[in-house]
Structure 1
């Protein structure tokens, strides 16, 4: 059996072999960016393996924090260096074999640019390099050394936090000097932190300025002091960040914003807490503006307040109130006040940087999951932003807890990634999507040391097809020498211990950039089927987003891009951008929503609706009217599978489906292959398929044209089967070439 040290030596020999092959390939003018990337990955992780071998105790402490490894923490820590070296060895062997095939012209190599992050520019909905679109991926906390930035991302930026500003409005000297002397060599973003409050602000505005809740925003956004110190901070900082390359990816207004305010009995929900009298006073004003008459409010709430000034409400609000007018009003107000706060920050930034784009690192699961008392209105905040910001994640394993619904059928949990991105793309179709804390590889609750590298390819490929432009991956907590600068629970079995996973991310990005025009075409595909989303139903119903997900899931594997519609989208966007609007299990809508949907029907818009939707207003009061149509463009269907069939048949009748069809067979009772088709510059169809199912899937690629065709593997430049068997997580990316 090969021992760890000899495996390390053999890996170094493999590096030398690959370097020699690279020289041969370069003489043939073969693009070898992948192989150079792989060598760098190998060098990094061989160093890390050496460090891990010398610091077993350190890694034991991290494995003890991971529930599934806790009992074998010592064994895992001792095994880690050997695992890393073996992973490097396998990675190099695979690279050598593949490059030899390229040299022997058994497969072929596309050109892929070596992206200089300093020469990347933001233009509309894409990042441009040398006149072509590119996609970028960096890592949270990765040290800024050439060894680590040359092939694994070179994202720059600046960190600003309230404690940086003095009472006189000046930045503290250390930060001022750092900012004015900062080099501007690479694209990046400004990170606005809200975990600190200046001492002078506390002295002036009192201890109530800081809330007793553990959130990424520690202060009360409704306290006048919040605006006071933010105005000073922005005025002192933004003039120096304006028009810089390191701020081109915008100003991130907040890290993972959330303002939960709910409880169940005496038990607080996660990150929930009380609000101050400033917030309650704002709520009273909000109620007065919305309801006008206190008797109207009393009737809705079943209360007897004498006037709006006397309105009292217990916050955190108990979930027993879900579905009541009080619950609805508080939930909407909480969203409105938070949106107004970020609008304020945006306005202040624009005073000092007229070209600034803002975004927020919003957790999309705050929309894709059911809860709505967190203050985050994803639609409003996406509209407000110049860049679609998020920290989209995907779950591939469980550190703890009971099995989840997705585990029965799928290789990973894709709901947040796909459905969340489709919603944000529907709201803002002409903006870049920046995932500033990407959680596909690891999260606190989802890690697996033996993760299949193809998982990295599948998730990153899928995310870019669904709209992602740039990402900052969670995470790179190691220094160049392998030492760890992280004390949390999420390190053991993360990507900084996984050479092949890390390398697969880099090589997937290379393939995406080699085919960026086609990937951008997939991002920009028209979404002919729209699912209606109502905030009123999402707030009032316990499992509304589960209902929406199951409808979305039923149509997700049919090769037709899906989108969403809301009252705002119906009002502001061209109805020619889609053909069918589906309203499903959405009993609660506002009167304004009802009216906008009726206008849509009156203008000829096609609507498929079930029998339980659009029955009540946001307060549960039945509507006196039902939707009407004189043009046979209002269809009532209850089963989501029947809705799917009808919607697809309407699209097919209009000739809006592609000329390519993908049929799927697998051992599962649900489809698992996500596919898209676009035309390339030569007018040929390009097909992308990702098997996110739990089992192998045999697919048949069919053409509606009665002509013989072949499938050409785009990445390897060779003919492949039109009837392949795709393993879970496999990506199938081909050009349809007719004979």
Structure 2
């Protein structure tokens, strides 16, 4: 099997053809078949429950079938409304909206039948003992304890899940999970000096949740009193974070509301300080906005504190200011200035002021509840992106949060159906999830990662109306392998009666709530992941001995730096070893044991480093580490482009390479004693490997997880393995085997003596 990529317009047509391929059966016939097969599975599950057989996966399929029988009926009886929703929710489907609206009910019923058939077949294999399936681990959301980065129940880890905007319904919660939340914003404050207003009636059976802080606007009374409070507003932050009145208003909200949530389950997952924050401020980045005069005044103060004398600033900038008070800067800043001292100063200041803003919010919350936790819904794709005018110092913000909040993305298609470079090798684009999560977990390895808006099933402009259920399963395993501890997936697009939700109509077409196979795969995979949570957690927490140096100053100044960093990461990704990062901060904290774990650090293409970064690398070398420096310009200039003295290192402690591929890097790592516990050989039609695998020692062997992210079938050979068992089916497994794209294997292997 080889994945073929087609434009999304064609994908819509393919979806329609799938409906016609149902043998021309009409809606009533399909519905009768679906209801009959649903009754059969229900009866089988009921009989098995009486014998204490685990049926949680079957209950997911039953709930999914019931959900989409309602949805299909609503879609059939509201053709004109559905047509209009499709027309307005995705421009690529607009011209085919009449046909798609007519065919969607049958398409959904066809998928319901397919899901029921697959569930019945697997359940028969379980009952006939052809496979030995591990029971799911059901989470009690009223009785979870966070420990070492994961929620635990009775000492065992598990992975809570939910969908954004899903109704709080007992059956839906059992099938797909449930995470509570309460929304607060400045609108809770009705006037200056008043108590904030919020209806909150705590209950004894309250479930784990978080407090979602909406920052998208300021109330009318506040804007009337302070007309300049919206100067410098940005997307999802509808006011000036440097305005004293904004800070005072939030202080008043916290004073009135935080004590009410203290010690309650609904705030156990922390205060989400901001949704998808970014303050882009250059001429070429999406969403860039001007800043307020208050922000510019703070910038002048920052410049004086940093440079001390105006003469030093003038020399760096090539300017002629009489004093810091006269410094002028245009924002959005011209992107052509990237690499210049003025660009660095602005980007570094923008990060510092936003870090200060989040620090203020955290301090105010914990003033009223010292045990409160905080999180920020950081977009990992912003970290892996090339520009740093966004105001986010990821390392500082990761250290600040008690819970790592994020909003990751992995997709099996592209925006607008365009051909993208990853498609030549891979079946999905995993860059904006995997590398950032490894960075996040390098900074804060023992903090919970809560992805509160997981974008693997749909994004605003990236959707697949015929998403393979195998992709859903693979993507979920991939997210949790890289440390995700709790996920809230985007998004739930229907009401309890099956109607399309009015709130999210603009994102409905090609979303999960019109694809039964996607929803069934999600629910069943979460049951599977929770069944094997101890093994998955152990793999995610394996020491990251492969370490790559990340330079914030290079990311600020170098337009190609993040791309080169990712290429280095990708060249090592298929080695079977977890990958981590080091920074100035991490190296500064490293002890002797850390240096032993990281005997070699790869420093790729860091063309601009601060004195602090250089000193951290020198200290690492002086304490016994070795540097593998890649790139002719690496470590030769400071953040302002001035020449640096060479790194101080004993002979043999620093090796320079003009460039390096994965094989070269792995050879050098092996000389430092860094190699995978199990070696896997892959051949495929594409050439470069597509499988990612990780191991964890246990008993007399190793747990081995393999995910095929490649676009073609992969032939796998496990080297030096004498015995292999499939943990998911409980059956013996060959050491040589094939994997289709999005294939998942969880094995237990014993090595030959």
Measured against the shorter chain, the TM-score band is over 0.9
Structure 2 partner of 1:19:
42
Which whole-Å deviations, capped at 9, do the CAs of 1:535-586 have from their partners, x for residues lacking one?
1111111121101111111110010111111101111233334232111111
Asked if 1 retains the 8 angstrom alpha-carbon contact of 2:232 and 2:292, the reply is no
* CA drift at 1:712: 1.2
* CA drift at 1:413: 0.6
Matched, 1:561 2:578: yes
Which of 325, 335, 343 is residue 327 of structure 1 equivalent to? 343
Partner Cα separation in structure 1 for residue 363 and residue 671 of structure 2: 47
Asked if 1 retains the 8 angstrom alpha-carbon contact of 2:233 and 2:291, the reply is no
Which of 465, 472, 482 is residue 466 of structure 1 equivalent to? 482
Partner Cα separation in structure 2 for residue 570 and residue 399 of structure 1: 38
**2:59 aligns to what SS in structure 1?**
helix
Which whole-Å deviations, capped at 9, do the CAs of 1:174-206 have from their partners, x for residues lacking one?
x2xx224566521111101112313333243x2
The number of equivalent residue pairs is: 723
Which of 306, 326, 329 is residue 310 of structure 1 equivalent to? 326
Partner Cα separation in structure 2 for residue 214 and residue 629 of structure 1: 45
Structure 1 partner of 2:156:
132
Change beyond 3 A, Cα 1:328–1:224: same
Which whole-Å deviations, capped at 9, do the CAs of 1:639-668 have from their partners, x for residues lacking one?
221xx3354335445555344211100011
**1:317 aligns to what SS in structure 2?**
coil
Q: What RMSD, in angstroms, separates the aligned Cα atoms of the two structures?
A: 1.7
* CA drift at 1:402: 3.6
Structure 2 partner of 1:200:
221
Structure 1 partner of 2:3:
none
Which range is displaced more, 339-348 or 538-547? 538-547
Matched, 1:490 2:514: no
Which of 200, 219, 224 is residue 239 of structure 2 equivalent to? 219
Asked if 2 retains the 8 angstrom alpha-carbon contact of 1:561 and 1:676, the reply is yes
Compute the TM-score of the two structures, normalised by the length of structure 2. Answer: 0.93
Partner Cα separation in structure 1 for residue 655 and residue 415 of structure 2: 45
* CA drift at 1:293: 0.6
Matched, 1:113 2:137: yes
Structure 1 partner of 2:396:
380
Partner Cα separation in structure 2 for residue 167 and residue 213 of structure 1: 21
Partner Cα separation in structure 2 for residue 22 and residue 163 of structure 1: 48
Matched, 1:47 2:60: no
**1:154 aligns to what SS in structure 2?**
coil
Partner Cα separation in structure 2 for residue 125 and residue 115 of structure 1: 16
* CA drift at 1:297: 0.1
**1:119 aligns to what SS in structure 2?**
coil
Which whole-Å deviations, capped at 9, do the CAs of 1:603-627 have from their partners, x for residues lacking one?
111110023201100000111x112
Partner Cα separation in structure 2 for residue 331 and residue 99 of structure 1: 57
* CA drift at 1:328: 0.7
Asked if 1 retains the 8 angstrom alpha-carbon contact of 2:233 and 2:240, the reply is no
**1:227 aligns to what SS in structure 2?**
helix
Structure 1 partner of 2:729:
716
Partner Cα separation in structure 1 for residue 162 and residue 599 of structure 2: 38
Change beyond 3 A, Cα 1:651–1:413: same
**1:127 aligns to what SS in structure 2?**
strand
Partner Cα separation in structure 2 for residue 12 and residue 66 of structure 1: 31
* CA drift at 1:398: 2.9
Change beyond 3 A, Cα 1:90–1:433: same
Structure 2 partner of 1:151:
175
Partner Cα separation in structure 1 for residue 356 and residue 637 of structure 2: 28
Asked if 1 retains the 8 angstrom alpha-carbon contact of 2:196 and 2:253, the reply is no
After TM superposition, the structure 1 = structure 2 runs for residues 413-424 of structure 1, keeping only pairs within 5 Å, are: 413-424=429-440
Matched, 1:542 2:559: yes
Which range is displaced more, 178-187 or 445-454? 178-187
Partner Cα separation in structure 2 for residue 509 and residue 20 of structure 1: 23
Structure 1: 4+ residue segments shifted above 6 A? none
Matched, 1:257 2:270: no
Partner Cα separation in structure 1 for residue 717 and residue 706 of structure 2: 11
Which of 521, 536, 551 is residue 568 of structure 2 equivalent to? 551
Partner Cα separation in structure 1 for residue 647 and residue 619 of structure 2: 10
Change beyond 3 A, Cα 1:168–1:279: closer
Compute the TM-score of the two structures, normalised by the length of structure 1. Answer: 0.95
Partner Cα separation in structure 2 for residue 181 and residue 369 of structure 1: 42
Partner Cα separation in structure 2 for residue 294 and residue 331 of structure 1: 19
Which range is displaced more, 497-506 or 160-169? 160-169
Matched, 1:393 2:378: no
Change beyond 3 A, Cα 1:125–1:66: same
Change beyond 3 A, Cα 1:182–1:219: farther
Change beyond 3 A, Cα 1:212–1:738: closer
Asked if 2 retains the 8 angstrom alpha-carbon contact of 1:676 and 1:688, the reply is yes
Which of 225, 228, 243 is residue 248 of structure 2 equivalent to? 228
**2:707 aligns to what SS in structure 1?**
strand
Matched, 1:698 2:738: no
After TM superposition, the structure 1 = structure 2 runs for residues 283-682 of structure 1, keeping only pairs within 5 Å, are: 283-400=299-416, 402-483=418-499, 484-487=501-504, 489-574=506-591, 575-576=594-595, 577-610=597-630, 611-623=632-644, 625-641=645-661, 644-653=662-671, 655-680=673-698, 682=699
* CA drift at 1:160: 0.4
Change beyond 3 A, Cα 1:373–1:214: closer
Which whole-Å deviations, capped at 9, do the CAs of 1:216-239 have from their partners, x for residues lacking one?
000000011111101001111110
Structure 2 partner of 1:83:
107
Asked if 2 retains the 8 angstrom alpha-carbon contact of 1:170 and 1:236, the reply is no
Asked if 1 retains the 8 angstrom alpha-carbon contact of 2:558 and 2:607, the reply is no
Matched, 1:98 2:122: yes
Which of 51, 65, 84 is residue 61 of structure 1 equivalent to? 84
Structure 2 partner of 1:732:
745
